[in-house]
Amino acid sequence: MKKTKILIIEDEKAIADLLVYGLNKEGFHTIAANNGADGLREVEQFKPDLLLLDWMLPDLSGLEICKKVTASTHIPIIMITAKSDITDKIVGLEFGADDYITKPFDLREVIARIRTILRRMVQVNKPDEESTENKLYFKNIEIIKNERVVKKNDEIIDLTPKEFDLLITLYSYRGKIFTRTELLDFVWGYDYFGDTRTVDIHIQRLRKKLDANDLIITVFGVGYKFEKQVD
């Protein structure tokens, strides 16, 4: 059975060694890079299924790496950092991170977060119960689920992994009203930590990229829904 590959980009050797040892023991195939340049090279060569990324690195910031990785791949990213301010968390998520763990951490929590994200990736990409079709259509939009590609008028739209997951979640439950907290749980998969602005920002970006103001509807005082009738 193919092992899930995890890349760690972390300049503190003791932390990197702990993570590599612990994750390999859990059955993952894990390697580490101790700076941003080496980490980006391993993203290309190792082709990880998930990235554990330190915020503070000696050459590139974790945010720079996060932006580069999400611009060209669909690899889920967990930021690991000493920064604990809520604003820093939101910034990390807005740059494309899937989750956020603050140092010092318990290895068991890291493993649990990884497994949660991997389960969610499988859930998002599995066929709908009502249809086994891989391609979904609405208006001038085409979604190719297994390739995680979205096209508008046959041109590929550059969506971040979180924007894609958010779109699939809303579209799969057309007509259902989601609260912002529910969308955090469905799409980001971590415990609600007190600020839902990241959901609003991702919704705004989706609407703009897809020209979908008439489909992704704000339900005032509640949250969002994808219009059920899309024809």
Which domains does the chain carry? 5-125 (3.40.50.2300), 135-226 (1.10.10.10)
CA angle 103, 108, 114 (to 5 degrees): 85
Residue with tokens 């080496």: 38
DSSP H helical segments within 73-150, as ranges? 86-94, 107-125
Q: What is the pLDDT of residue 129?
A: 46
**Omega before 161 cis (within 30°)?**
no
- List per-residue pLDDT tens for the chain, 231 residues long: 578 899 999 999 999 999 999 999 988 999 999 999 999 999 999 999 999 999 889 898 888 898 889 888 878 899 888 766 666 667 777 777 878 888 888 898 898 888 888 877 766 555 444 445 688 888 889 999 888 899 999 899 988 888 898 999 899 888 888 888 778 877 876 554 446 778 888 899 899 999 989 999 999 888 899 987 644
Per the confidence metrics, is the pTM higher than 0.85? no
For residue 195, the model assigns a pLDDT of 62
Q: Give me the pLDDT at residue 231, please.
A: 47
For residue 194, what pLDDT is reported? 46
- Give the type of residue at 36: G
| C-alpha torsion angle, residues 68, 74, 78, 82 (rounded to 10) | 10
What's the pLDDT score for residue 88? 66
**pLDDT score of 16:** 94
Q: What is the pLDDT of residue 130?
A: 45
